């Protein structure tokens, strides 16, 4: 799933250096202003239901019911909002971070329903992965059963190797929080409405961001040149 038409996923190239298990979500200010505040004013259970906590500029937790959110609807909010990790977190159970100026990343998601849609432009700009665990294993330089099981355990998935099955009951075991790749993995986020499939057939997709008209115009102008 990619960014909505309003919040387009940017085209970029970067490098994936590490994966993080069970991330917390530090909610961007724009989402606090445009979505959380209006929703909270209609439903005061919002923060509790979504396991979100509010902090002031000194990092002290405050009671969201004691904040006059209405006065911040159209300007800077002097609070940060952080969603607890694990169950129900918007970033899911694993995230893949890479340097970029857009604050986007690849991540798991609890919203599995979106993968059943034909048009999956639903996010705030990040890319949601349907098979995040498989992607994590794909990034590893070499197959590593024990490391794979540590990733599974952190995501509350049963380990499969005999050594992995021993980990959760070990008194010395510490849950995996992040893993740095031995070598970075190049990442390219592109946008194509026509592509050649694995069976050598052309596939056509909806132009959800309406980029094609500008591209076609540029190509036509090239063809018109003597």
pLDDT in tens, 35-60: 999 999 999 999 999 999 999 999 99
Query: What region, left, alpha or beta, does residue 56 occupy, with left being phi > 0 and alpha being psi -120 to 50 degrees?
Result: beta
Q: In sequence order, which residues have a C-beta less than 8 Å from that of residue 184 and are 6 or more positions away?
A: 15, 16, 17
Q: Please report, for residues 26, 76, 90, 106, 205, the alpha-carbon distance to residue 54 in angstroms, rounded to integers and kept in the order given.
A: 10, 15, 16, 25, 41
pLDDT in tens, 150-185: 999 999 999 999 999 999 999 899 999 999 999 999
Closest CA to 177 of 17, 51, 59, 18: 18
| 8 Å CB contact between 163 and 149 | yes
Give the C-alpha separation, 209 to 149, whole Å: 39
| 8 Å CB contact between 182 and 141 | yes
| 8 Å CB contact between 50 and 83 | yes
| 8 Å CB contact between 4 and 121 | yes
The 3 state secondary structure assigned to 64-105 is: HHHCCHHHHCCCCCCCEEEECCCCCCCCCCEEEECCCCCCCC
Q: With a cut of 70, which residues of the chain have pLDDT below it?
A: 225-226
The predicted pLDDT at position 191 comes to 95
The predicted pLDDT at position 73 comes to 74
42 CB burial (10 A radius; 0-12, 13-18, 19+): exposed
Give the C-alpha separation, 110 to 113, whole Å: 9
For the chain, give every domain's residue range: 2-191, 192-226
Give the C-alpha separation, 109 to 29, whole Å: 21
Strands (DSSP E) contained in the chain are 2-3, 12-21, 25-26, 52-55, 61-62, 80-83, 94-97, 106-107, 121-123, 127-128, 178-189, 194-196, 202-204
């Amino acid at each position: 799933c990619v960014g909505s038409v309003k919040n387009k996923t940017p085209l970029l190239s970067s490098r994936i250096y590490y994966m993080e298990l069970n991330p917390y979500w530090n909610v961007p200010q724009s989402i606090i202003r445009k979505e959380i505040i209006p929703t909270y004013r209609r439903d005061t259970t919002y923060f509790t239901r979504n396991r979100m906590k509010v902090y002031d500029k000194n990092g002290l937790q405050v009671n969201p019911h004691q904040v006059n959110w209405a006065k911040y609807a159209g300007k800077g909010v002097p609070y940060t909002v952080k969603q607890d990790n694990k169950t129900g977190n918007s970033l899911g159970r694993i995230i893949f971070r890479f340097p970029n100026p857009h604050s986007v990343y690849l991540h798991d998601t609890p919203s599995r329903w979106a993968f059943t849609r034909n048009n999956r432009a639903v996010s705030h700009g990040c890319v949601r992965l349907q098979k995040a665990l498989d992607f994590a294993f794909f990034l590893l330089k070499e197959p590593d059963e024990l490391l794979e099981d540590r990733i599974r355990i952190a995501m509350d998935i049963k380990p499969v190797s005999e050594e992995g099955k021993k980990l959760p009951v070990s008194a010395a075991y510490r849950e995996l929080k992040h893993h740095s790749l031995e070598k970075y993995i190049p990442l390219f986020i592109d946008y194509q409405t026509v592509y050649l499939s694995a069976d050598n057939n052309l596939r056509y997709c909806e132009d959800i961001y309406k980029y094609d008209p500008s591209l076609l115009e540029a190509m036509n102008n090239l063809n018109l040149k003597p």
